Amino acid sequence: MNSPIPVLEDTQADLLAEVTPHTGERREILDPATGGLVGHAPVHSVDDLERAIVRAKAAQPAWAALGHERRSELLLLAADAIDAEAEALAHVLSREQGKPLNGPNARFEVGAASGWMRAAAATPLDAEVVVDDGETRAELHYRPIGVVGAIGPWNWPQMITVWQVAPALRMGNTVVVKPSEYTPLSVLALIAVINRVLPEGVVEVVSGGRDVGAALASHPSIGKVMFTGSTATGKAIIRSSADTVKRLTLELGGNDAGIVLPDVDPTAIAEGVFWGAFINTGQTCAALKRLYVHDDVYDAVCEALVDIARAMPMGVGLDEANVLGPLQNRQQFDIVDRLVDSAKAGGARVLLGGDPDRTQPGNFYPTTLVADIDDRSPLVQEEQFGPALPIIRYRDLDEAIAMANGVEVGLGASVWSADRDEARRIAARLEAGTVWINAHGAVHPMAPFGGAKQSGYGLEFGVEGLKALGVPQVVNG
Ligand code: NAD
């Protein structure tokens, strides 16, 4: 593990000072890599939430009245504001979330935040003429919903906030954001930056706990909730939204399978498989979480993955050399630890890692590869959300597909093969919202993203994502 580098850039300190409350309740946010203090976050209450909703509701008609073109211009200015503060935002994110600056991590996340903001501004959405037969003329429009609630997780806090906020704003809604209690500073900093260019009240942020999330999800003035987080919380939100028949987009947990066919070149696919599984140190909704490898190439794939994994430095995020970081919180560390222990107890073979150094500060769990593991092991069946990949051996493709589909969630999946047509045929049999071929987890702002089964419902990104933030209205005549 690389040694900590205690860099505190001035711009980052300024940004943190901007979001640190001087009055009211506040709490310490600790660095998951070192245990050191990152800063203080406000602890907002349900009363604060009420006031934020009133402000967002008051701001909404004027925001909607600006029209698509002007709102898009303002979103582009917000993206410019993110770019101008990119380094400071990445530092706050790295220190609070734990992800390194480099690799597909903090700088990458800030870049994605501004990129998705620009995409939401640029995506055309015209009224559709759905019938025009001489007798009937019907057009389909999408009107603003009103005030949208955006509730987010701690793994990609800035990027996911933009995924929720940008299309909502583009469609003429105002937004009340409730960041995860684990990563409030990253989101407060992001919103402070975009609010330099947006009118007052258009984006409000309430940094509270689960009680504030629950109050937001049941509030009568909230027309829609954009939620990204665990399946258990998603179910709670469905219940609390029922009385007001809120619209919901739910991006929930995943346990993505990858199926490796016998025709692959193991060394050629190893790096793609590695990053598919270990991006953000495994704390990614659509990461590859179970790898099914055909017996013919099993040992070679395992060997190639070990070689790649060994070469990827893990450590404190501000050290430019690192590409893997700590788990964001101790609860997640404990989940990964328990699942790997259960795999060991079940007779699985640990190829790498599996032995955290408990004398070190921080929530570091080493990069772990587990072979010859039974498909029924908890490490396979439960979402580990951390750097521990189970590799399951298969001989029969139908059996591999059945195992891949054998869980209640279905966010993503991947097929690895030299034969793209065969991979596409297998994709059609997989119960997942996205299937990648010879890749895993890459998202694009114009390709709709959403889950099958208990990974949620509703789509984000592109035209479909904009439509999800509007009320469809048919104008007939
Ligand atoms: P979580 O469900 O514990 O928390 C998410 C958010 O919900 C937090 O802001 C929390 O305060 C809030 N919350 C908690 N209880 C609530 C309630 N009753 N009503 C309203 N809000 C409530 O999730 P997490 O641990 O932060 O995130 C990890 C999970 O998120 C993983 O399962 C991961 O797969 C999933 N995830 C999914 C996607 C996706 O796009 N599908 C993306 C990222 C993460």
Mean pLDDT to the nearest integer, 286-311: 98
Give Cβ neighbours of residue 397 (< 8 Å, ≥ 6 apart).
259, 261, 294, 426
Reply yes or no on whether the pLDDT at 449 is more than 50: yes
Q: What is the pLDDT of residue 9?
A: 58
Q: What is the pLDDT of residue 21?
A: 82
Q: What is the pLDDT of residue 23?
A: 80
**d(CA 229, ligand 1 centre) in Å:** 2
**d(CA 108, ligand 1 centre) in Å:** 22
Look at residue 94 and give its three-state secondary structure: helix
Q: What is the pLDDT of residue 6?
A: 44
pLDDT tens digits for 174-194? 999 999 999 999 999 999 999
Question: Mean pLDDT lowest for which of 7-11, 35-39, 370-374, 390-394?
Answer: 7-11
Decide: 84 and 108 in contact? Cβ < 8 Å. no
Mean pLDDT to the nearest integer, 89-105: 97
pLDDT tens digits for 380-410? 999 999 999 999 999 999 999 999 999 999 9
The half-sphere exposure of 315 on its side-chain side, counting CA atoms within 13 A, is 14
Work out the end-to-end distance of the chain between its first and last CA atoms, rounded to an integer number of angstroms.
Answer: 68
Q: By alpha-carbon position, which residue is closest to atom 38 of ligand 1?
A: 285
Q: Which residues partner with 260 through β-bridges? A: 293, 416
DSSP element (H, E) containing 294: strand 288-294
Q: Which residue has the higher pLDDT, 344 or 25?
A: 344
Query: For a substitution probing ligand 1, which of 49, 151, 240, 328 has the most ligand atoms within 8 Å of its CB?
Result: 151
Reply yes or no on whether the pLDDT at 10 is more than 80: no
Verify whether ligand 1 is closer than 6 Å to residue 149 (CB atom): no
Reply yes or no on whether the pLDDT at 16 is more than 60: yes
Rounded to two decimals, what is the model's pTM? 0.96
Query: For a substitution probing ligand 1, which of 176, 177, 233, 453 has the most ligand atoms within 8 Å of its CB?
Result: 233
Reply yes or no on whether the pLDDT at 252 is more than 60: yes
Verify whether ligand 1 is closer than 6 Å to residue 234 (CB atom): no
Residues of the chain with CATH 3.40.605.10: 9-252+456-476
Separate counts of helices (H) and strands (E) for the chain: 16, 20
Confidence of residue 358 (pLDDT cuts 50, 70, 90): very high
Closest atom of ligand 1 to 151 CA is 9
Verify whether ligand 1 is closer than 6 Å to residue 151 (CB atom): yes
Query: For a substitution probing ligand 1, which of 230, 241, 251, 252 has the most ligand atoms within 8 Å of its CB?
Result: 230
**d(CA 435, ligand 1 centre) in Å:** 23
Reply yes or no on whether the pLDDT at 141 is more than 50: yes
Verify whether ligand 1 is closer than 6 Å to residue 213 (CB atom): yes
Mean pLDDT to the nearest integer, 318-325: 97
Reply yes or no on whether the pLDDT at 7 is more than 70: no
DSSP element (H, E) containing 467: helix 462-467
Verify whether ligand 1 is closer than 6 Å to residue 214 (CB atom): yes
According to CATH, the superfamily of the domain at 256-444 is Aldehyde Dehydrogenase; Chain A, domain 2 (3.40.309.10)
Verify whether ligand 1 is closer than 6 Å to residue 155 (CB atom): yes
Decide: 314 and 367 in contact? Cβ < 8 Å. yes
Q: Any idea which residues carry the catalytic annotation?
A: 251
Residues of the chain with CATH 3.40.309.10: 256-444
Confidence of residue 5 (pLDDT cuts 50, 70, 90): very low
Verify whether ligand 1 is closer than 6 Å to residue 383 (CB atom): yes
Which DSSP state fits 328? S
Reply yes or no on whether the pLDDT at 56 is more than 70: yes
Reply yes or no on whether the pLDDT at 289 is more than 90: yes
Q: What is the pLDDT of residue 24?
A: 84
Give CA–CA dist 154/186, Å, rounded: 9
Q: What is the pLDDT of residue 3?
A: 44
Reply yes or no on whether the pLDDT at 66 is more than 80: yes
Verify whether ligand 1 is closer than 6 Å to residue 105 (CB atom): no
Q: What is the pLDDT of residue 1?
A: 46
pLDDT tens digits for 323-336? 999 999 999 999 99
Q: What is the pLDDT of residue 8?
A: 54
Mean pLDDT to the nearest integer, 288-304: 98
Give CA–CA dist 217/202, Å, rounded: 19
Q: Which residue has the higher pLDDT, 334 or 12?
A: 334
Q: What is the pLDDT of residue 239?
A: 95
Q: By alpha-carbon position, which residue is closest to atom 14 of ligand 1?
A: 210
- Assigned CATH class of 9-252+456-476: alpha beta
Single-letter code of the amino acid located at 103: G
Closest atom of ligand 1 to 237 CA is 19
Reply yes or no on whether the pLDDT at 4 is more than 70: no
**d(CA 190, ligand 1 centre) in Å:** 19
Reply yes or no on whether the pLDDT at 43 is more than 70: yes
Mean pLDDT to the nearest integer, 416-428: 98
Verify whether ligand 1 is closer than 6 Å to residue 163 (CB atom): no
Q: Which residues partner with 141 through β-bridges? A: 473
Task: Supply the mean pLDDT for the chain.
Answer: 96
**d(CA 251, ligand 1 centre) in Å:** 9
Closest atom of ligand 1 to 455 CA is 41
Residue appearing with tokens 């890749």: 439
